[in-house]
Amino acid sequence: MQLVFATNNLNKLKEVQALIPKHITLLSLKDINCLDDIPETENTIKGNALLKAKYVKEHYGYDCFADDTGLEIEALDGAPGVYSARYAGAQCNAEDNMNKLINELADKDNKKAQFKTVIALLLNGNQICFTGICKGQITSVKQGDKGFGYDPIFKPNHYDITFAEMDLELKNNIGHRGKAVSQLVDYLNS
């Protein structure tokens, strides 16, 4: 079986490749010569995942899946949510996003947060979505140098370290993306 993972994010690709069974050939957008910047214009995480998967299917004809992930902060009414990647502005990077979030939470006692990933799969004319959630809290300082995005300031519940301090196997076992991919793999194996 051959599936396209509709992402240009090499970190996400690496995480997901580690979880996909060997009998499934995972192709990236680069592998199918899709160099388009697929717009993420929906106002929900699920909407953006579906938008990306449908784009690849319609323009390139491949069965595929796409994901979208958001960090939802309780004290900020779910923000940054669907805007997590561009929270500090369109031209900003992960450091800018983390700094903005740390500053916004500096005077708040409630640091509860959750990462939410939705994977939209388009396969054989069917559309199925899988959701993975990892609850935790935001730290006041960045810790660790692994992972990407908000990983240095997200500490999952029941752990004393951030995602950025975990090896990939542990992060995949407890993390939002790993949980969603696990559901995807179960579906593909059934």
pLDDT in tens, 39-94: 889 999 999 999 999 999 999 999 999 999 999 999 999 999 999 989 999 889 99
User: What pLDDT, on a 0 to 100 scale, did the predictor assign at position 10?
Assistant: 82
For residue 162, give the DSSP letter. Answer: -
Residue corresponding to tokens 């800018």 = 96
How far apart (Å, rounded) are the C-alpha atoms in residues 109 and 97?
A: 20
User: What pLDDT, on a 0 to 100 scale, did the predictor assign at position 17?
Assistant: 87
pLDDT beyond 90 at 13: no
User: What pLDDT, on a 0 to 100 scale, did the predictor assign at position 39?
Assistant: 82
- The pTM for the full model equals 0.91
Rounded alpha-carbon distances, angstroms, from residue 175 to 41, 103, 115, 118, 171: 25, 25, 8, 12, 5
Q: Kindly indicate the confidence band of residue 101, based on its pLDDT and cuts at 50, 70 and 90.
A: very high
Q: Kindly indicate the confidence band of residue 181, based on its pLDDT and cuts at 50, 70 and 90.
A: very high
pLDDT tens figures, 129-174: 999 999 999 999 999 999 889 999 999 999 999 999 999 889 989 9
pLDDT beyond 90 at 14: no
User: What pLDDT, on a 0 to 100 scale, did the predictor assign at position 136?
Assistant: 98
User: What pLDDT, on a 0 to 100 scale, did the predictor assign at position 15?
Assistant: 80
Write phi, then psi, for 167 (nearest 5 degrees).
-75, 165
Which residue in 31, 63, 67, 68 is the catalytic one? 68
Q: Is 68 a catalytic residue?
A: yes
Check if the beta carbon of residue 118 is closer than 8 Å to that of residue 49.
yes
Per-residue tokens: 6: 């509709």
